[in-house]
Structure 1
Amino acid sequence: MADNKNQHFVPRVHLRPFTVGREGLAINLFNLDRMKAIPNAPVKNQCSGDYFYGQNPLLENAINFIENPYGPVIRHLTDDGAIGSAVEIVLKRFIYLQYLRTEAASFKASEMVLALHDVPGSDLSVPTVRDAAKEAVQAAMLNYKDTMRIVDDLTLCIVRNRTELSFVTSDDPAVLTNRLHIQRPRNGRQSFGAKTAGAIFILPLTPKLCALLYDGAVYNADHHAHWIDADRSADVLALNVHQILGCWANLYFRDWDDREQISAQTEATKPRRPETRQTVTQAVLEKTSDWGEYYAVRKSTNIRTGEKVLVHVVSNHPVPATWPSFLRFRPNGRAYSNNTGAGLTRRWCLEQGFVRGEGYHKVSI
């Protein structure tokens, strides 16, 4: 059995730089449902649940192995330390782990599971949302060891905030987005993921530092030895927007005086949050011919028991109004495609076997 019953899906080592006085005890938060700032909330009660990762001590130890170097790396970066290969690997492993393991991520995955169970006439037992969520995040954690290298080809930069504003974090702080997918849509392009060309990961590290992973074959950033100095308030706000768009319920910040600015930005950004995290479509087999099977989309209330049903679940990714000015499209951007609904991917993902399929070739974007 796991030694720690109260397991944090956003670790306290990540929240600590955002805590009051950097002491790791209390933190200011802004709740999106109530649109209210709350001072000095106990850190021990934030972003945690009883046996959130289950009761497998080996899994808990593996998570601790990833987390333990994170704190020293953040202190190193706070002192403007060099970004060498050791810093890169620690941050890449931590960012991808954090992306997979939050409560928000588990609920997104559980909605897919529930959609499959909820087909009319299905004889599968329907789990509770909470149980499905826990099962989903535990499965993701067990799969982490096989997929953690999927981000190794992405370029790491640390954005150094030179403005009077502060970075905020949240209860789902490791954000995956894709400017290519959002701003240059193509016919048939599907929802994006970690293996998609144009992937961008964003993780605030402290109120003055933010980590950025991006597909270097698609974007170019003005960095010097992996450092980017952000002296425009608009760029800091553009990064904070992703925390507002992607969080589950709470934003976290260190200085109580920032609450009015955070409230105003949240008020302006909240309408861009998707109403649902997933769109579920059900299609019923209508006829079969020598050419194959033909399905028609139906509402679940119009599906009869015994009919053959396909279930399609698509993630609804939020669309920010602006992007940081220092992250631009490359004039010679490239990706790989096999002209199917699988969409665009990266060369690394093909070489490492994270993407399967035939006929992939380089395309300009």
Structure 2
Amino acid sequence: MANNKKHHFVPQFYLKNFSCDGKSISLFNKRSVRKVFSAGIKTQCYRDYFYGKDLKLENWLAKVEGKVANVFKKIITSQAIPERKDEMYEDLLLYIAIQASRTTYAAEEMSQVRDLSSDKRYSLNESESAHTALQYAMRMLPAYYSLSSKLIINHTKEKFITSDNPCVFYNILTEKLNISGGSHVNSLGLKIFLPISPELMLVFYDQSTFKLGSKKVRQIELNDLSDAVALNKLQFVSCEQNIYFKDKAYDPMKLHHAIKKYYKVQKLEVLGKTSKYGVNANRVDTRTNLKLSILTLKKKARLILKSRDEKAFMEGRDTELTNQYIQMFNQSLKSANNDSDFHERCLELAKFKSMQMLEKG
């Protein structure tokens, strides 16, 4: 069991894409403001028994990683994203959902929610927080299917970097309106950015509010240096401690000083407390005043900004899905085995949303 005690919350196969030799990686620690060259990949982004000593969750995550490692390898080789009908696309969406919720950052968010709860019986240790965060991710899996996806191919000299919290949720609309709640997976206007190599980045986005690149082309050729810099800024604001990069000549200090005014001082924004449900809180959104030449607001987004329609965000990007979640939640409250029943209904809903999006083309 001791051989499996190091539980990596950012997979080693992923970090190797940003390594020169497959064994070491260069990093910048945001807290100590220090660069380290040739840090061992095995010693990065892990906690001892982070997912529990029984290793059940760790072993399941290893299987997911095994599948998606092949997906990433194919994307990097072909410079193309799998089609929705391809099983690899299902594996990719599952990984995105998991990666966004498996880090120490996500676990601490979940722990803070419970600590702020009015019912102190539900405080969590680190392993329990990680379990709960991943359980939440699986329940929200259906919402990922309503996002469109593209692959950004970086041709600039500013190569992509990554971090210990690499999956970045960003919402330009809520940022412009200065309201919270833009980081929920079913949020209107959401974009998710994940670099997978120094030259490639996956982006999942709300197609109803934004146009990203050319309409029918799933690859975006990035030639504007300022766009690459803007995308790298996201990692600096999102990360917990470490930025990772391949090129040892890269100078992280320049971006660190340019972007540190956007660093988060807290993870949650408490909206209120209730005696029935504990605490109502939103994630503190990642904000960098993001501007990209490849991104254009559609008419729907422009109208929302002009009218300052905050109600549109309450209803969510997929209003049908929002109503389905509310219905399932109310049904689960009446069930003796409500937690398990709700989880199973969410997985069934994910299959339904997958088929629905395939029919839409």
TM-score calculated relative to the size of structure 1: 0.78
The 2-side partners of 1:61 and 1:145 are apart by: 16
The 1-side partners of 2:234 and 2:36 are apart by: 21
Check if 1:16 corresponds to 2:16: yes
DSSP-derived class of the 1:257 partner: coil
Q: Give the Å deviation of 1:66.
A: 2.0
The 1-side partners of 2:212 and 2:255 are apart by: 25
DSSP-derived class of the 1:68 partner: helix
The 2-side partners of 1:194 and 1:278 are apart by: 16
Distance 1:8 1:352, change over 3 A: farther
Q: Which segment is superposed worse, 204-213 or 133-142? A: 133-142
Distance 1:220 1:339, change over 3 A: closer
Select the structure that is richer in helix.
2
Question: Match of 1:207?
Answer: 198
Letter in 1 for 2:94: R
Task: Note the residue ranges of structure 2 that are not aligned, 5 or more in a row.
Answer: 331-361
Distance 1:191 1:172, change over 3 A: same
Q: Give the Å deviation of 1:134.
A: 2.5
Letter in 2 for 1:26: S
The 2-side partners of 1:67 and 1:33 are apart by: 29
Q: Is the 8 A contact 1:166 1:236 kept in 2?
A: yes
Matched positions, count? 320
Check if 1:346 corresponds to 2:317: yes
Letter in 2 for 1:35: V
Give the 5 Å matches for 1:215-364. 215-223=206-214, 225-258=217-250, 260=251, 262-280=252-270, 311-333=279-301, 343-347=314-318, 350=321, 353-354=324-325
Distance 1:2 1:324, change over 3 A: farther
The 2-side partners of 1:100 and 1:234 are apart by: 29
Residue 84 (structure 1) aligned to one of 82, 85, 90: 82
DSSP-derived class of the 2:149 partner: strand
Q: Is the 8 A contact 2:182 2:188 kept in 1?
A: no
The 1-side partners of 2:313 and 2:76 are apart by: 40
DSSP-derived class of the 2:4 partner: coil
Select the structure that is richer in strand.
1
Question: Match of 1:40?
Answer: 38
The 2-side partners of 1:244 and 1:311 are apart by: 29
Distance 1:232 1:339, change over 3 A: closer
Letter in 1 for 2:90: I
Q: Give the Å deviation of 1:351.
A: 7.0
Q: Is the 8 A contact 1:7 1:48 kept in 2?
A: yes
Residue 171 (structure 1) aligned to one of 158, 161, 164: 164
Give the 5 Å matches for 1:117-156. 124=120, 132-156=125-149
Q: Is the 8 A contact 2:102 2:133 kept in 1?
A: yes
TM-score calculated relative to the size of structure 2: 0.79
The 2-side partners of 1:144 and 1:322 are apart by: 26
The 2-side partners of 1:219 and 1:195 are apart by: 15
Distance 1:60 1:321, change over 3 A: same
Q: Give the Å deviation of 1:143.
A: 4.0
Check if 1:68 corresponds to 2:61: no
Q: Give the Å deviation of 1:51.
A: 1.3
The 2-side partners of 1:326 and 1:52 are apart by: 39
Q: Is the 8 A contact 2:155 2:222 kept in 1?
A: yes
Task: Note the residue ranges of structure 1 that are not aligned, 5 or more in a row.
Answer: 286-307, 359-365
Question: Match of 2:98?
Answer: 97
Q: Give the Å deviation of 1:16.
A: 0.7
Q: Give the Å deviation of 1:54.
A: 1.3
Check if 1:196 corresponds to 2:187: yes
The 2-side partners of 1:106 and 1:240 are apart by: 24
Q: CA RMSD in A?
A: 3.1
Distance 1:203 1:126, change over 3 A: same
Q: Percent identity?
A: 24
